[in-house]
């Protein structure tokens, strides 16, 4: 094989690997948290209209990139000191107090528990888009 042929084969392999890596990353962004990380997101109730998810994230724990529809987030059990990174790479930190109940718009993100205690909350998510 000539040097040019080796170069072309190397470029082709590089392009295929890059496409595979980017495709896997992009696919994860649209994934259901309960399917992607069932050790953190456990569905405890589900019917044809809603599902309720019990969420646990240990101190220092990190989630993979995933998506949620609009819904209610209940920080009922513990405080949650979190760093959240959106799909576009922007990150923010927040401290939610036990007992807080918030509306969350649809989001694709990953989270990291930067607190000293487990983050434990409930998510109530509709199965069809909220209006």
Model confidence over 52-100: pLDDT tens digits?
999 999 999 999 999 999 999 999 899 999 999 999 999 999 999 999 9
- 3-state SS class at 40: coil
* Spatial contact of 63 and 105, defined as CB atoms under 8 Å apart: no
Residue 1 has pLDDT above 80, yes or no: no
Structure tokens at 2: 């000539």
Per-residue pLDDT band for 127 (boundaries 50, 70, 90) equals confident
* Residue 22 confidence (pLDDT): 35
Structure tokens at 8: 């072309």
Strand 71-75's sheet: what is its strand order?
41-46, 50-57, 119-126, 71-75, 100-104
Question: What is the C-alpha separation between 103 and 124, in angstroms, rounded?
Answer: 10
* Residue 83 confidence (pLDDT): 98
Q: What is the pTM of this model?
A: 0.73
* Residue 126 confidence (pLDDT): 93
Instruction: Count CB atoms within 10 A of the CB of residue 101.
Output: 13
Average pLDDT, the chain: 82
56: left (phi over 0), alpha (psi -120 to 50) or beta: beta
* Residue 33 confidence (pLDDT): 92
């Amino acid at each position: 094989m000539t040097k040019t042929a080796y170069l072309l084969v190397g470029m082709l392999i590089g392009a295929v690997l890059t496409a595979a890596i980017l495709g896997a990353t992009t696919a994860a962004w649209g994934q259901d948290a309960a399917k992607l990380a069932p050790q953190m997101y456990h569905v405890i109730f589900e019917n044809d209209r809603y599902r309720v998810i019990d969420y646990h994230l240990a101190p220092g724990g990190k989630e993979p990139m995933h998506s949620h529809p609009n819904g209610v987030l209940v920080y009922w059990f513990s405080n949650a000191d979190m760093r959240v990174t959106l799909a576009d790479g922007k990150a923010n930190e927040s401290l939610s107090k036990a007992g807080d109940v918030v509306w969350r718009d649809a989001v694709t993100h990953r989270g990291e528990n930067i607190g000293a205690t487990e983050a434990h909350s409930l998510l109530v998510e509709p199965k069809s888009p909220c209006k």
